Structure 1
Amino acid sequence: MVSVIVPVFRAEKTLERCVSCILAQDYGEFELILVDDGSDDGSSALCDWLGRADSRIRVSHGENRGAAGARNLGIELSAGEWICFVDSDDIIAPDYLSSLIRRAVDTGSEISVCAHVKCLESDIPAIGHTLQFFGEHPQKASS
């Protein structure tokens, strides 16, 4: 099972779209942990509503500790063999989890990393970043 951890802070405008993408994964063995990091907008109530709507979603509320603190709390609450972090404004492809798990299993790896920026909707600005892992050749994410 994969524990998908989403830190939530002032994400009222993007969270529902993010959660919809996660729930639409073609890899069905996952739990979704929403960690409300002390949001002062409607994010907290939205997390609770989403948690009531789907049994795969667990919600935790806490004080504002920042994204890293929220991720660490999510890890403490997780039950999965694998951990996956998704930001509350991310939109992921339906095969996101299955691709990461398949690649890790096929290569005998303990970690699977991806980095890609692709703008799927015109209202979301695309930002390209240069990526470099372990001194390998840098790759430029296209916008």
Structure 2
Amino acid sequence: MIYVVIPVHNRKQYTRTCLQCLRGQTYPSVQTIIVDDGSTDGTDAMVQTEFPEAVLLKGDGNLWWTEATNVGIRYAFHKAPANEENFILTLNDDTEVGPDYVAQLLATYREHGPCLVGSVSVDSANPARLEYAGTRVNLRWTGEVDLASQQYQNQYSRLKSGPTALRSDSLPGRGVLIPFRVLHEIGLFDSRRFTHYMADIEFSVRAHKAGFPLMVSVLAVVREHVHATGLDVKGTLSLGQFVRGMFSMRSSTYLKPRFYFALRHSPTHLLYFLLDVARMFTGYTLRRYKSRTLKAGL
């Protein structure tokens, strides 16, 4: 059985679309678990009325992504049949998938498992644009190579012409198939240190260190609404907004989880963290410069 765990909060239309995609999966043994963390927009009523086959669990608004995901995982542990190979599939509600999505993830697992299997992601507004296809990570010096841009020039057609699965050094939680045995061996997502952002990356790195390969299934494609997630960190932000984002739990540049990640996984600890902060400022500066240059050229 595959248990799809989706944390949601006040994005009813995204949640509806995502659930419609999951309802049409060709793989039959799928149970969707929605963890509604205190939505006030009628998400819970919509799920109960339109998708009665989904399990609806509720939070009070303080679970955030990580603990909401753990709530769904614990429910799956309790309900899973003992005589089957069971999986968790983490997924965000601002995503859409094709009917063979789950089947493709499972096919990659059957070929390369035991492992974690992540998804390729593309821009829902432009599916030819590749957003994610794995990473190469240097845990000593905070170097990270984004394969989507560096190796495939953000073109899904280039990726699709190669192997059907790629190895990665980390995986985002936006579509990751996790066998129960991994969770039993390394534990759940760390909701104390990684409340919202980086819990997925930290978990995948922890699993990799425990000996489980991280694979990306080229044919398991997630169409993501790229402007719907978190705080915008593009060059349109002022310096003040960018700095404030480093102290906001809603921001991907939030410093606290990055500090804990450095302490837990990098052999250089504080140096890794400082280099990571420097890398973020450098990236922001370059994006800001590019944004101003484009405006000046108009």
Q: Do both share a fold (TM > 0.5)? A: yes
RMSD between superposed Cα atoms in Å: 2.6
State the distance in 1 between where 2:65 and 2:98 align: 22
Q: Give the drift of 1:137.
A: 6.1
State the distance in 2 between where 1:139 and 1:30 align: 30
Query: 1:127/1:67 Cα in 2 relative to 1: closer, same or farther (>3 Å)?
Result: farther
Gaps spanning 5+ residues in structure 1: where?
none
| Counterpart for residue 105 of structure 2 | 100
* Structure 1 residue runs of 4 or more that deviate by more than 6 Å after TM superposition: none
Residues 118, 142 of structure 1: 8 Å contact kept: no
In the TM superposition, what whole-angstrom CA distance separates every residue of 1:17-48 from its partner, at most 9, and x where no partner exists?
11010111111111000111111211121122
Aligned equivalent of 1:116, options 115, 121, 127: 121
Q: Give the drift of 1:15.
A: 1.3
| Counterpart for residue 75 of structure 1 | 73
**Residue type at the aligned position of 2:135:** Q
Question: Which of structures 1 and 2 has the larger relative contact order (alpha carbons within 8 angstroms, sep 6+)?
Answer: 1
Query: 1:77/1:133 Cα in 2 relative to 1: closer, same or farther (>3 Å)?
Result: farther
In the TM superposition, what whole-angstrom CA distance separates every residue of 1:91-126 from its partner, at most 9, and x where no partner exists?
01111111111111112223111231142x57x9x7
Gaps spanning 5+ residues in structure 2: where?
81-85, 139-143, 149-153, 157-298
In the alignment, structure 1 residue 14 sits paired with structure 2 residue 19: no
Mean Cα deviation higher: 67-76 or 129-138: 129-138
The percent identity for this pair of structures is 23
TM-score of the pair, normalised by structure 1:
0.82
| Counterpart for residue 42 of structure 2 | 42
State the distance in 1 between where 2:4 and 2:114 align: 18
Aligned equivalent of 2:131, options 128, 133, 141: 128
State the distance in 1 between where 2:111 and 2:130 align: 31
| Counterpart for residue 62 of structure 1 | 59
Size of the aligned set, in residue pairs, is 137
Q: Give the drift of 1:128.
A: 3.4
